[in-house]
Structure 1
Amino acid sequence: MGSIAARADVPLARLQRFNPDVNPNRLAVGQRLLVPTQQERAPSGGPYRYQVRPGDTYSAIARRFNTTPARIQAANPGIEPTQLRVGQVLHVPLRGSGSAVAAAPAASSPSRPSQAGSGTAAAPASAPSNAPALPASARNWPWPLDDYRVVRSFGTDSRGTLQPMLLATSRGARAKAVADGDVRFAGSMRQLGRVVIVHHADNLQSVYALCDTLLVDDGARVTRGTPLCEVSFNSAAERHDLLFDLRMGGKPIDPRRVLR
């Protein structure tokens, strides 16, 4: 993907952000990529500058960048959605990341590491006053990787956007189930690469994203420590990353409240 970016004379990060569903480690002959023009931009937090192409609609553009037609229309008040013109430049605001799994832009700069080493966790942060009480089963779960460092903690960034935890690891690392459960999703998601979602007792869910090779299928029953996926290489940050998220009833919780 880097050589394609060089030939097109566009930054690699911009090319990746304009192709959120493409795994740069698994390009296939004949695969189609959207190469941004010099008028297009893709800042990590948005909004993107997107140039209309033949056949484009607000709905199609929204699907590509995981946002909504209403958000695009609101950001372009002087442009009628039924009168788009090829070559026209639109502002495309990105959806906030408070949903089930928040997108981690490929070339975003990680926050200062809060933990280094393997098997040694930073002291859990105190739960905010409005944090939900956890069931008794959510105690002393193992970390999803044997060797890791936290390069982004769970919490809000400088823009107030809730971000899931990001873990850096070594080549060939495998993410493991943090508790017994059932695999409810094993496949690809926009901007997140391959993803595994496991449902546990007491309405708890764990999410493992930015995977390379999936090692389980939908519907599989897994136990604590079962390998779920191999972690992929983040070419922009030049490291292997796993995006890890914990949910209770679909709402995000700080993994440090549960992991030992």
Structure 2
Amino acid sequence: MRRWLLVLWLFVSITYGLSSYFLVHYKIQKNDTLYSISLDFGVSPSLILDWNPGLTPWNLKVGQIIIIPQPPGYMYTVQKGDNLDIIAKRFFTTPVLIKEANHLTSDIIYVGQKLFIPESAIGKAFNDEKFFIWPVYGTISSGYGWRIHPITGKYSFHSGIDIAAPTGTPIFAAESGIVEFAGVNGGYGLMVKIKSSSYEHVYGHLSQIDVYEGQYVKKGQLIGRVGSTGLSTGPHLHFEIRVREKAVNPLNYLPSKIWVLKKELVGAGGE
């Protein structure tokens, strides 16, 4: 399978010009599973789910066509107000690496443009000064603790923090663990719950879920996209950390800065 992929990449490169990636349109075969396909193509199950919204490990059908990028990577659609620096921060990488991957000769981008973000470039600017990393790049719009609920108007306890970010912004696992829940959960909307040896993490209001229950995910792995599902006033990530099923203030566990570029990359994009 790997040799076939190399031949295909060479064919596409010669036919369409040397490109940083190409898309395989794979037809599901008998006895295929999401995991077996991920092994054959050298990509994670989460990446396949991200490229194929609505797909789950349980609804694969023989003859169904799915999209798989080679090499592994994700697509981002440029939105109003975006620039390369902002997009790079959302993927915790550098503008230079995004430009190289998309053969951009300038910093000019336009709304609606599709940018390929290689998996190898993601996470270069994760701040790992603490055990956890920030799950998303954005602005804290609501803190942990008691507040007037923006929708119900009632005085209630906010069990996490809200990080405002545009719809489609990638969400990364703050810590490695097993996915305990992935689906719709009342006011949380589309929600993912990941359990590690000592903590539980809750990610709410997603627009898309890229993991499935029982899946082991590594810290820094993309698990979904920011949205505004459930009881929400706008696109953001509701993020909780729980200790023995009791919510604690995530800011006590997260690094002091969201985005920190590694020293060896300072010259490749700057801060």
- Under TM normalisation by the shorter chain, which class is it? 0.3 to 0.5
Q: Which of the two has greater helix per residue?
A: 2
TM-score by length of 1: 0.43
